[in-house]
Amino acid sequence: MHSFAYCHGTLHCEGVNLDQLAAKEGTPLYVYSKRTILEHYARLKEALSPLDAEVEFAVKACSNIAILNLMAHQGSGFDIVSGGELFRVIQAGGNPHRCTYAGIGKTQQEIQFALEQGVYAFNAESEAELVAINAIAGQMGLIAPVSVRVNPNVEAGTHKYITTGKSENKFGIDFERIEPLYEWAFRELPNIRLKGLQMHIGSQLTKAAPFVEAVRKTAPLALHLKNKFNIEFFSIGGGIGIVYQNSLESASKSWWDQTPEQLTIKTYADSIVPLLQPLGLKIIVEPGRLIVGNAGALITRCLYEKQGKAKTFTIVDAGMNDLIRPALYQGYHQIIPIAEHPDRPNIVSDVVGPICESGDFMAQNRSLPQVHQGELLAVLSAGAYGFAMASNYNSRPLAAEILVDGNSWHVIRKRQTWNDLIAGESIP
Ligand code: LLP
């Protein structure tokens, strides 16, 4: 679900008129609905309630400290992948003891910081990393809590760049090598405590079957490790997909009555809870996109209309530096006008940004009600991996971010200025 809907002909986020908001705060502008974020978190918690489950929000999806603060207040833990993300969680008032630290390339400085802060566990992804964590913990006179990420070699059925659970991916350790690895670590690495087992097979999964296959394959291993090494948790990662196409239309339906082939919180939970319940382990899930994806939109203004020989272009002021998903993953985002004009004909155009690359588009060959210069569009379902992946490419300042709460809103990140662009640079 989400909280973007037309009211008297103008798109609103919750009770906030997006035309007025854009006039005040400028564009491009990221807007998030607090209500949607809270609702997604609550529904997931509820669906997993038969388990001893911990939800850890994947910070990488949307790392603004206001969003992290909101999640922390709901009782969420955090899936982090860098020292910077841990720093953000702490600044946001989150609890480092509720963080698990994943990623294949943790530096010595990051491991040290995470140990100082007392993270719940490191999700280690190689033997060499285990050795490094053991050594650093030893120097600090600490025992490091560790789980190992298992690569179950399961096809997630998503874009190849966000598939992570196949043997050819750089993530995790091959399924067959996990047990000998735990035996070795138990024997040889005295500054490590084997605390759990982790996996994550990919992102934007739209079917329950790959989750089921991965859990079916890995749950017996988790149980075995529990019996042998007394591990206390099994983390099944994130990856729950969201609706990108026609999300405005499906928002009016509840999560519970969408079409059966669509992955919903309910179908996800119904398919995995029975497999996980008998383990008697704490179960961690690490959703990012599910929580914030449909909660955010990117508001952009049409700068020019341009008729080419082969195509019509709608040139907008948001580029691939603001939202890279269409360029990088051929990601589809529904685009709708902020002002409804039911009388206007649809035209087919490429909605493109100002960046000097032909890969800079929000949509190609998209049928949309005609948009004229100066008018506003909303790029929907942009809350996850939108702003978080934004850059200053072409020396474009980062967009502002707004959190809407009912009829009120707050600037949770100021728009960058040109001075911000060169802060830290110097001429020798
Ligand atoms: N846990 C781990 C270990 C992960 O690597 C990820 C995402 C998550 C949890 C959260 O996954 P989610 O629930 O959000 O699917 N930039 C891409 C997505 C990259 C996902 C990276 N890992 C995109 O825009 O589609």
Quickly count helices (H) and strands (E) in the chain: 13, 21
In this predicted structure, what is the pLDDT of residue 260?
46
Which residues are annotated as catalytic? Answer: 356
Atom of ligand 1 nearest to the CA of 237: 1
- Say how many Å lie between the CA of residue 415 and the centre of ligand 1: 26
In this predicted structure, what is the pLDDT of residue 255?
43
* Residue 124 binned pLDDT confidence (cut-offs 50, 70, 90): very high
- Say how many Å lie between the CA of residue 193 and the centre of ligand 1: 26
Mean pLDDT throughout 317-338? 97
Atom of ligand 1 nearest to the CA of 203: 15
Residue with CA closest to ligand 1 atom 20: 203
- Is the confidence at residue 256, as pLDDT, over 60? no
Judge contact between 38 and 55, C-beta under 8 A.
no
- Is the confidence at residue 293, as pLDDT, over 60? yes
Residue with CA closest to ligand 1 atom 16: 385
Structure tokens at 150: 């298992």
Separation between Cα atoms, residue 202 and residue 291, nearest integer Å: 16
Question: What 3-state DSSP class applies to 29?
Answer: strand
Residue with CA closest to ligand 1 atom 23: 385
Residue with CA closest to ligand 1 atom 7: 203
Atom of ligand 1 nearest to the CA of 389: 16
Decide: pTM greater than 0.85.
yes
Per-residue pLDDT of 365-409, as tens digits, reads 999 999 999 999 999 999 999 999 999 999 999 999 999 999 999
Mean pLDDT throughout 164-188? 92
- Is the confidence at residue 169, as pLDDT, over 90? no
- Say how many Å lie between the CA of residue 375 and the centre of ligand 1: 33
Per-residue pLDDT of 35-52, as tens digits, reads 999 999 999 999 999 999
Question: Ligand 1: residues whose CB is within 6 Å?
Answer: 58, 61, 79, 102, 162, 200, 203-204, 237-240, 286-290, 325, 329, 384-385
- Is the confidence at residue 168, as pLDDT, over 50? yes
In this predicted structure, what is the pLDDT of residue 126?
95
Residue with CA closest to ligand 1 atom 19: 162
Question: What 3-state DSSP class applies to 122?
Answer: strand
- Say how many Å lie between the CA of residue 53 and the centre of ligand 1: 19
- Ligand 1: which of 41, 60, 171, 332 to mutate, judged by most atoms within 8 Å of the beta carbon? 60
- Say how many Å lie between the CA of residue 215 and the centre of ligand 1: 18
In this predicted structure, what is the pLDDT of residue 251?
58
**Torsion angles phi and psi, residue 427, rounded to 5:** -105, 120
Atom of ligand 1 nearest to the CA of 204: 15
Atom of ligand 1 nearest to the CA of 386: 24
Q: What percent of the chain has pLDDT over 90?
A: 90
Separation between Cα atoms, residue 317 and residue 302, nearest integer Å: 6
- Is the confidence at residue 257, as pLDDT, over 90? no
- Is the confidence at residue 361, as pLDDT, over 60? yes
Lowest mean pLDDT among 70-79, 258-267, 302-311: 258-267
* Residue 2 binned pLDDT confidence (cut-offs 50, 70, 90): confident
- Ligand 1: which of 147, 148, 203 to mutate, judged by most atoms within 8 Å of the beta carbon? 203
- Say how many Å lie between the CA of residue 288 and the centre of ligand 1: 6
- Say how many Å lie between the CA of residue 239 and the centre of ligand 1: 6
Per-residue pLDDT of 73-97, as tens digits, reads 999 999 999 999 999 999 999 999 9
Mean pLDDT of the chain: 95
Atom of ligand 1 nearest to the CA of 102: 3
Name the pairing type of β-strands 192-198 and 144-151.
parallel
User: Residue 364 is inside which H or E element, if any?
Assistant: strand 361-369
Per-residue pLDDT of 323-332, as tens digits, reads 999 999 999 9
Q: List, as own/partner pairs, every contact residues 218-225 make where C-beta atoms lie below 8 angstroms and the sequence separation is at least 24, other chains included.
A: 218/150, 218/152, 218/175, 219/275, 219/276, 219/279, 221/150, 221/175, 221/178, 221/179, 221/197, 222/197, 222/279, 222/281, 223/279, 223/281, 224/179, 225/178, 225/179, 225/182, 225/194, 225/197
In this predicted structure, what is the pLDDT of residue 245?
87
